[in-house]
Amino acid sequence: MATNRTFTMIKPDAVANGHIGAILNDIIAGGFKIIAMKYIQLSKETAGAFYAVHKERPFYGELVDFMTSGPIVAAILEKDNAVEDFRTLIGATDPSKAEAGTIRNKYAKSIDANAIHGSDSDENAAIEGSFFFSHFERF
Ligand code: UDP
């Protein structure tokens, strides 16, 4: 059964390009409620741990460098069918393949600097949300 929460990060490219406000507007207009949110700079250690699942993939080192290249916005979001609906809202990993109107289509430039993260399963949404937010920062 789908749970009603997902986890997102507005990535360093979108923050640096001034898209935080527009992306949050799209998220809220998409029917998501912000449960918790923070603006932070990731260390190599934290980004490496978050993306540990991709450790063996060729882009891992560059992904960690990119995710630590500037501040990000991390948030827990709530909506019915949150994980799937959020993946639809953000679009395909490669922005050139993302549908028109999706966040990656509008604000991302490349497959590595792709503006936003969205959890890919309910299980990962819970793991990722609690990686970034302690129990007293979410309800
Ligand atoms: N990524 C990359 N190069 C690739 C594939 C992925 O740099 O060829 C990065 C990209 O930032 C992506 C992240 O690794 O968002 C995680 O990849 P995944 O396949 O899980 O895509 P997502 O779930 O973010 O759409």
Question: Taking 70 as the threshold, does the pLDDT of residue 45 lie above it?
Answer: yes
**Residue 53 CA, closest ligand 1 atom number:** 20
CB 40 within 8 A of CB 49: no
Ligand 1 binding pocket (C-beta < 6 A) is: 59, 63, 93, 111-112, 114, 117, 120
Distance (Å, rounded) from C-alpha 15 to C-alpha 5? 23
CA of 111 to the centre of ligand 1 (A): 7
Its domain, for residue 90, covers: 5-137
Query: What's the whole-model pTM score?
Result: 0.97
pLDDT tier for residue 52 given thresholds of 50, 70 and 90 = very high
Active site residue 19: no
Query: What confidence tier does 138 reach under pLDDT thresholds 50, 70, 90?
Result: confident
Give how many domains the chain has, as a whole number.
Answer: 1
Distance 85 CA to ligand 1 centre (A): 18
Instruction: Identify the pLDDT of residue 139.
Output: 78
Q: Which of 10, 54, 62, 63 to mutate to test the pocket of ligand 1 (most atoms within 8 A of CB)?
A: 63
pLDDT at 3: 75
Residue located via tokens 């799937």 = 84
Which of the four pLDDT bands, split at 50, 70 and 90, describes residue 2?
Answer: low
Per-chain mean pLDDT for the chain: 96
* φ, ψ for residue 138, nearest 5 deg: -140, 160
> Is 1's pLDDT higher than 50?
no
- CATH at residue 78: 3.30.70.141
Sign of CA dihedral 25, 104, 36, 41: negative
9-31: average pLDDT: 98
ipTM of the complex: 0.96
Degrees (nearest 5) of the Cα angle 26, 17, 55? 85
pLDDT tens digits, one per residue of 85-115:
999 999 999 999 999 999 999 999 999 999 9
